[in-house]
Structure 1
């Protein structure tokens, strides 16, 4: 009996610890699926825990257990209040500084009407279209939705929104079946054809995809994947990245050839592509959707191998570059590429001379979010990144934008530099 009571007591304390942890991480992106009822469920669980602790707990420990419950309750309500306040503050903001900051954010959405006021006031610079936005809808529905947002921008005298999606072909084809699901770019290598014919086919692939995207109002496609294949099976905890299934080739020259022709095909239809995911996900085993990742390959090898497709294609096209949440310790041991000033400002902008669009991978992915969304936001802006993607858990835009506004008020951000970034976002295709 004593052992049973001890076990039940231990489970009770573990439950209290879990509830406090949940309260601390209220509205975490991983819990987005339960966002609508997360707070009521947590409050209910805390009430049950409080009642159980009072009735079943040892008299001497009742104050402690109730204290833990009360602390978790205050934490949850505090997080909820902060979220509500951030949303209200951002929604009420206006003016040049708010627009300068807002232009750097690309957001996902469930209902486009929720973006109307943000678009009209210039508090966002782009929108991301994914599978949840096309499910059960027609191409005409989506085009009308995008046109409505762009009309609001024109009426307000603001630049058009950048409208992005993830249409790589193959497994990552977010807009299919609204547009034809093409096989992955790597399948172009299955046929043993001369180099010129391979280039022609890749260009035709990109042009076909570009025309379909342009018809919907898409202006930026997060493709091609120029991470290099490794021949290694996905890691045990690689649930979503699975780069070898999406990459073009293990050969940097061949990858660059296909990617450049594809990009030029996209551009012929008026759509810009995006080279991803710098500094390369082929050399990491962690899934950055959930876990921190480190690329330990020597920089000298990366520069002559993994980074060649990024450099070769960007020099000969108008492609953007997506920054992954990967740490390159030889360059910056503290921060991932997506918000590392050493990598963005010194390497990509400085040594490479790249003056095109830089966009982060989704900042609500674990490898970035777990380092602190506010920290990631401010550092990415300070590094010179043009677009901060907040797509999966788009509610986090309000927290990120609030952080950016607070940083601007404190004089932490270089506003003239951020304004110059606007010229890159408005760059026409070559």
Structure 2
């Protein structure tokens, strides 16, 4: 009994520190599971324990007063965090028309509810949306289709270009809208088939995805994966990238062949493709969803292997290109490729003469978000990245857009780069219109 009492006393002193940390960081993507009911429970528990301590007379002792204060901290810190979020949100929603029209087209945002995303779409604060499993949970395909159409109607009424509507339908373990959409096998399952058969099946997979996504209102699929299959097992802390299960093959020729056929099937259905994750994460053992990662391979070796599928598919299609949050150390050791001018402008635009759409991987991923995300946003836009993706936690859009807003107001955005990007986006939108 004495032992249990000591444990309880220790927890009584330690718990408020843990709750205070969670409260102060309530808007962090890692704590998204606590939003709503979780936050309310945290506040209620803290206040209840503080009241119990007061009623039991702890306020009369010095240590007791300290304990009561500690249990009052979580609600106060949560209120402060919520106020910061609301002030930032207010600043974004009240951006001028000129600011919204200049910056908004460059952002793709995930969302949870129509009421949350409608003002962003209507005011031109975003250029597109990311649709995933929570958007279709407990809903029919028709309900989501009607919602997307309603948002497009708002865009037309406001005199704005159509939204780019994206989804993550790779096949295999990444098919965030399946079910209810058809669950297509991973493209990797085709690698061992005879060439003609795998080409035919890959086109069929692309047409299946394209037909269903187009019917829903999605016009850009974040697929296929062109990273080469890793030669060795990845780090045990790779919880989310799982590229070994998503990559098509280790042979660049096979990857290019299957991916080209898949993209052709998608485009025939009126849906664009997105090649990912340049400069390639097959050789990287670290999960960029959580940690920074380096790609230390010489450029000459990457040109001869990992980059061959990217070049091949880009030459045969209108595909967009997603740049990952891995640092290509031979080109730019100081920043991830997703916001490196040396990579985006130097390699993709100048060396490869690629003038299509370049987008970042999700900026909410730990490799970027847990560092200087404002620096990443500024550098990405100045590097000629066209679309910045805020997918996993759409609430982070306000922080990330505010970074761009502040940079614009301080005159740190490259207006020439933004103008060139606007032209590329305009061409892409015209190509997707029926």
TM-score by length of structure 1 reads 0.89
Cα 1:45/1:341, change in 2 over 3 Å: farther
Counterpart check, 1:170 vs 2:203: no
CA-atom RMSD, angstroms?
2.9
* Residue matched to 1:316: 316
Give structure 2 stretches of 5+ with no counterpart: none
CA contact (8 A) 1:29 1:393 kept: yes
Distance in 2 (CA, whole Å) between partners of 1:76 and 1:309 is 48
CA contact (8 A) 1:288 1:367 kept: yes
Q: CA deviation at 1:85?
A: 0.9
Secondary structure of the residue aligned to 2:112 is: coil
**1:236-273: per-residue Cα shift (whole Å, max 9, x none)?**
21122111111111011111111112112211111110
Give structure 1 stretches of 5+ with no counterpart: none
* Residue matched to 1:127: 129
CA contact (8 A) 1:86 1:398 kept: yes
* Residue matched to 2:244: 244
Distance in 2 (CA, whole Å) between partners of 1:60 and 1:277 is 57
CA contact (8 A) 2:234 2:286 kept: no
CA contact (8 A) 2:47 2:72 kept: no
* Residue matched to 2:257: 257
Q: CA deviation at 1:170?
A: 1.3
Cα 1:329/1:25, change in 2 over 3 Å: farther
Cα 1:48/1:376, change in 2 over 3 Å: farther
TM-score by length of structure 2 reads 0.88
Cα 1:63/1:174, change in 2 over 3 Å: same
**1:126-176: per-residue Cα shift (whole Å, max 9, x none)?**
011111112232222222111111111111111100010011111111222
Secondary structure of the residue aligned to 2:206 is: helix
Q: CA deviation at 1:43?
A: 4.1
* Residue matched to 1:153: 155
**1:97-131: per-residue Cα shift (whole Å, max 9, x none)?**
21221111111111123222221111110011111
Query: How many residues end up aligned between the 2 structures?
Result: 428
Q: CA deviation at 1:411?
A: 0.6
Cα 1:289/1:50, change in 2 over 3 Å: same
CA contact (8 A) 2:381 2:417 kept: no
Counterpart check, 1:82 vs 2:84: yes
**Once structures 1 and 2 are overlaid, which stretch shifts more, 114-123 or 90-99?**
90-99
CA contact (8 A) 1:168 1:224 kept: yes
CA contact (8 A) 2:101 2:125 kept: yes
Cα 1:418/1:186, change in 2 over 3 Å: same
* Residue matched to 1:367: 367
* Residue matched to 1:102: 104
CA contact (8 A) 1:220 1:272 kept: yes
